[in-house]
């Protein structure tokens, strides 16, 4: 029973045996192993005992499942076994043998969505709302195209065709990840079309609407009021501003460095090809940031009661924003588009807008990293836009009638 210290290099260099298969075991975590088949395929495994019986649980394939994530999953399984529970039982449905959809969904959230997506809570909400009620006890591998189509049709009948599109995208992502880590043999969404056609949204807010929204943000207050203001001033995505961390802000350099998972890719830039994204902060943005209350969270906008997570609850906040401002058909994503349109009217070039929005322009991909001249150009553009917003808000405030005594 070969034992060695598992490192990325040691695992990558593990070679298939001349015959049969090879089981390697981690020196640091007893029971955590790597099985190498005669064909060279590598799979993570955990060996443990429950009620005196030796049990083996396959976690997934390497390298799709990294050493770090596999070790975390193995520790979870061994903790369950120490409590007298059988983690392999999660792979047994009521009719036998396969990984249940509920266990599959939990694995997706814990091993993929939470480590890699700021929007993982939205995935969890859709899973709880629609996917688990439909397929909870089913073996994940038995979900069919017909099952997926019927689920989407139910969501459309509720009057939410766009939400049905989001469910389809989630199921597609879940099964693509499941294939990568060898939890499912196939995906049930091949050739399934999105039930609703979504036209690109082009809503750009007018000056009077910006004044009304700014007034609403003042009344809403922390955290969604200042969050909306920063979205408008920086032209960054909602999830990026919501995930803003104190460590990412350089007050001396006045640059906000978005990590890859907030800038458009996953942790470490493994998806989407994008790395960190530098956003110069205008004087107006700095004023807002320095006026915010301080908490013990690493996030500037932590979730209520969960300081380790960024704020959520945007749907409710958007409804409140619309109610107080009177601005109809307004989404938080419209703020980014409005900022881009405003800077374009001020003469900012498509090239500079590309850097601000973290998009490739003119053949220069957004993940290559801007030159110093690009940083200075984006700083000037964002500063000019912030001052324009300040002018609009001040002018609108002076035009409003005074409140009754």
Q: What residues form DSSP beta bridges with 44?
A: 34, 60
**Mutual angle of helices 224-234 and 207-220, in 10-degree steps:** 150
Residue 168 sits at φ, ψ, to 5 deg, of -60, -45
Task: Return d(Cα 242, Cα 225) in angstroms, integer.
Answer: 12
**Residues 6+ away with beta carbon under 8 Å from 369:** 275
Four-CA torsion 168, 270, 371, 387, nearest 10 degrees: 40
Q: How do beta strands 3-4 and 22-26 pair?
A: parallel
pLDDT tens digits for the chain (405 residues)?
Answer: 688 999 999 999 998 888 888 999 999 999 999 999 888 889 999 999 988 888 888 888 888 778 988 898 889 889 888 988 888 766 553 334 567 899 899 989 988 998 888 678 889 999 999 999 999 988 898 999 999 999 999 999 998 898 999 999 999 999 999 998 888 888 999 889 999 887 778 899 999 999 999 999 999 999 999 999 999 999 999 989 999 998 999 878 999 998 766 665 333 333 334 567 899 999 999 999 999 998 889 999 998 877 788 898 888 888 899 999 999 988 888 999 999 999 999 999 999 999 999 875 433 434 445 556 678 999 999 999 999 999 999 998 776 554 433
**What is the rounded CA–CA span in Å between residue 178 and residue 70?**
14
CA 169 to CA 192: how far, in whole Å? 10
* Tokens found for residue 320: 């409140």
Distance from C-alpha of 120 to C-alpha of 261, rounded to nearest angstrom: 12
CA 230, CA 297: separation in Å to the nearest integer?
A: 19
Residues 294, 307: Cα–Cα separation, whole Å: 12
Q: How far apart are CA 284 and CA 338, in angstroms?
A: 17
How high is the pLDDT of residue 366?
40
Q: Residue 130: how many CA atoms within 13 Å on its side-chain side?
A: 23
Q: Which of 371, 379, 378, 337 is nearest to 355 (CA)?
A: 378
For the whole model, what pTM was predicted? Answer: 0.59
Q: Are 265 and 145 in contact (CB under 8 A)?
A: no
pLDDT at residue 94, rounded to an integer: 37
d(CA 24, CA 42) in angstroms, rounded, equals 10
Q: What is the spatial distance between Cα 327 and Cα 76, in angstroms, rounded to a whole number?
A: 48
Q: What's the confidence (pLDDT) of residue 261?
A: 61
50's enclosing H/E stretch is: strand 42-50
CA 273, 276, 280, 284 torsion: positive or negative?
A: positive
Query: Cα-flanking dihedrals φ and ψ of residue 340, to 5°?
Result: -65, -45
Distance between CA atoms of residues 46 and 370, nearest Å: 45
């Amino acid at each position: 029973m070969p034992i060695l210290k598992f490192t990325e290099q040691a695992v990558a260099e593990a070679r298939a045996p001349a015959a049969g298969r090879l089981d390697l075991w981690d020196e640091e975590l007893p029971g955590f192993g790597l099985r190498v088949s005669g064909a060279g395929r590598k799979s993570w495994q955990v060996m443990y005992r429950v009620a005196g019986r030796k049990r083996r649980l396959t976690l997934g394939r390497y390298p799709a499942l990294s050493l770090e994530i596999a070790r975390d999953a193995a520790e979870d399984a061994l903790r369950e076994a120490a409590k007298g529970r059988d983690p392999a039982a999660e792979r047994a449905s009521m009719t036998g043998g396969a990984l249940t959809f509920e266990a599959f969904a939990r694995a997706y959230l814990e091993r993929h969505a939470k480590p890699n997506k700021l929007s993982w809570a939205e995935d969890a909400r859709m899973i709880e709302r629609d996917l688990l009620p439909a397929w909870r006890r089913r073996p994940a591998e038995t979900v069919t195209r017909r099952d997926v189509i019927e689920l989407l049709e139910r969501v459309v009948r509720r009057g939410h065709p766009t939400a049905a599109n989001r469910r389809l995208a989630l199921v597609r992502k879940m099964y693509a990840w499941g294939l990568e880590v060898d939890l499912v043999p196939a995906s049930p969404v091949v050739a399934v079309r999105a039930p609703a056609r979504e036209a690109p949204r082009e809503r750009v807010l007018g000056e009077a609407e910006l004044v009304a929204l700014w007034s609403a943000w003042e009344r809403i207050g922390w955290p969604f009021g200042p969050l909306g203001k920063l979205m408008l001033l920086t032209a960054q995505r909602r999830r990026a501003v919501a995930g803003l961390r104190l460590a990412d802000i350089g007050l001396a350099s006045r640059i906000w460095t978005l990590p890859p998972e907030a800038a458009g890719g996953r942790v470490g830039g493994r998806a989407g090809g994008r790395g960190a994204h530098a956003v110069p902060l205008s004087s107006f943005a700095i004023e807002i940031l320095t006026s915010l209350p301080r908490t013990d969270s690493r996030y500037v906008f932590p979730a209520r009661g969960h300081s380790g997570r960024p704020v959520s609850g945007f749907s409710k906040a958007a409804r409140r924003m619309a109610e107080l401002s009177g601005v109809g058909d307004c989404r938080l994503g419209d703020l980014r588009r409005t900022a881009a349109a405003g800077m374009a009217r001020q003469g900012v070039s498509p090239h500079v807008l590309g850097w601000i929005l973290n998009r490739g322009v003119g053949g220069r991909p957004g993940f290559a990293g801007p030159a110093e001249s690009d940083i200075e150009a984006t700083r000037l553009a964002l500063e000019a836009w912030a001052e324009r917003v300040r002018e609009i808000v001040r002018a609108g405030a002076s035009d409003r009638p005074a409140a009754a005594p």
